[in-house]
Structure 1
């Protein structure tokens, strides 16, 4: 598993009646692959995993793996409250053909350090798939600390970290402590260029769902050391990237996907599509972005 590059956390596409819309899901996958992304992540926050049924998660994973057909790795996110459920999905992911796992700490229960490490190790022991730990204390209230990663470094299948602490210096802190033991991927769109310049290996991206070419261009330019060219795109992109750091990021990004022609705005309850001034604001942000879209 090469944990480097741009990994879209793709949205799950629905019809207006709430049923899965696989044709538009595949259309978006086509746009991601055409732009040159390096992997696909299913079932994250943007994927509305918490409102998908068991059968829908199975279908979505199976169909995505078949459609991508080995062009890039397909990563399944695991966000469960019970260890046995996380172990089940780790085993099922392998069976369905996924290439790796993105793993959150236990949901709902505020586990302590020993419990979180034990949970991660139990999932890792249940599968030989490579794992990226999702470290997001802002949204999920559990910080995976340096001390915890020292314990997890013993587990060879735990290979990468989605760095969403909102602390740019954590990239340097992790490098100083662990060298290249873990691949580090920025998980916050508005900090992506900063963390890539500081040595992050990749970007688990959100607005890539609507703007895949621009996202990949920024990553590639930084890898080539063309910082001024990357910065010009990033400055244009920032107002759009800020849609990723709002509680309604799913609705915001799905509306952006619809406006760029590679998605729809439909979400599943309890989420509702945007209305009124909030909708107008998001539409204006996306419209301005489209009007000033850089030529790549």
Structure 2
């Protein structure tokens, strides 16, 4: 399946039950809500998906279940976040065998690789697979930045590296990438609180977090922005901002799962060492969610834009 790398691509949460097992019924409900809202792809096993806690068997189950639910309507993309090149290549092979349509690649985990080591890591994975790839560039959380110079080498040698999830939190990076590479690389914003600004600057899409709880509002902002209806996009975006700020937190998984409860698209169950929010922090987050639910905006027809 060809991936256009545009629109809204949810970084899906992994649903668990009270016994710490995959909750595939709730997972299916959420995926169907994403499809109904008009998302352009599904990304599995990212930070929000609690990837570091998932077993290979659970990852296989999630990929195959998502393919079943989506029925090839949108691409299914598997995240790779491993400690060694050997492990990353194996995950890439597994993902293709399971039927995934693309890969999202993080730099090496735990070890702070040099620029040279990071480029070699990405190239060896890319050359081991025919699947299209989006590079996840998040120096804030993962301490390794994929620079313009590094992208230049990667894009020259690896045709299947096609896009970047830009989480640098530097809005001008969209313009730098466009000035340097034009349409050779597609840009998807990876920071919820900069999505509108990034798309106005030329980013083709949004790898979103709060979309897990609010799929229609997220896709509406994208569609309205790209169709030029900035005023209406801003109306929804400004309402959304207190919720979007829940994504830029070490507890983003717990925050977003609590929001999923409010919209009926998930539960609070997380996998240890993560634990559900409690005390004053839970009250603070719940108050933000309650306030947003009380003022949830009416959406006009956006899907045909």
Partner of residue 238 from structure 2, selected from 235, 241, 256:
235
CA distance in 2, matches of 1:153, 1:276: 48
Give the equivalent residue in structure 2 for 1:177.
Answer: 180
Partner of residue 224 from structure 1, selected from 224, 227, 238:
227
Aligned to 1:251, the other structure's residue is in SS state helix
Q: Is the contact made by 2:32 and 2:69 (CA closer than 8 Å) also made in structure 1?
A: no
- The alpha-carbon deviation at position 179 of structure 1 amounts to 1.0
CA distance in 1, matches of 2:183, 2:55: 38
CA distance in 2, matches of 1:37, 1:61: 17
- The alpha-carbon deviation at position 4 of structure 1 amounts to 0.5
CA distance in 2, matches of 1:194, 1:235: 12
Q: How many residues align?
A: 296
Give the equivalent residue in structure 2 for 1:58.
Answer: 60
Give the equivalent residue in structure 2 for 1:147.
Answer: 149
Normalising by structure 2, report the TM-score.
0.96
Partner of residue 69 from structure 2, selected from 67, 70, 87:
67
Give the equivalent residue in structure 2 for 1:292.
Answer: 295
Give the equivalent residue in structure 1 for 2:89.
Answer: 87
1:19 lines up with 2:25 in the alignment:
no
1:162 lines up with 2:165 in the alignment:
yes
Aligned to 1:30, the other structure's residue is in SS state helix
Give the equivalent residue in structure 2 for 1:77.
Answer: 79
Q: Is the contact made by 2:134 and 2:163 (CA closer than 8 Å) also made in structure 1?
A: yes
Aligned to 1:179, the other structure's residue is in SS state helix
- The alpha-carbon deviation at position 63 of structure 1 amounts to 1.3
- The alpha-carbon deviation at position 87 of structure 1 amounts to 0.5
- The alpha-carbon deviation at position 93 of structure 1 amounts to 1.0
Aligned to 2:110, the other structure's residue is in SS state coil
CA distance in 2, matches of 1:59, 1:26: 12
Partner of residue 208 from structure 1, selected from 203, 208, 211:
211
Aligned to 1:280, the other structure's residue is in SS state helix
CA distance in 2, matches of 1:276, 1:106: 35
Unpaired runs of at least 5, structure 2: 300-305
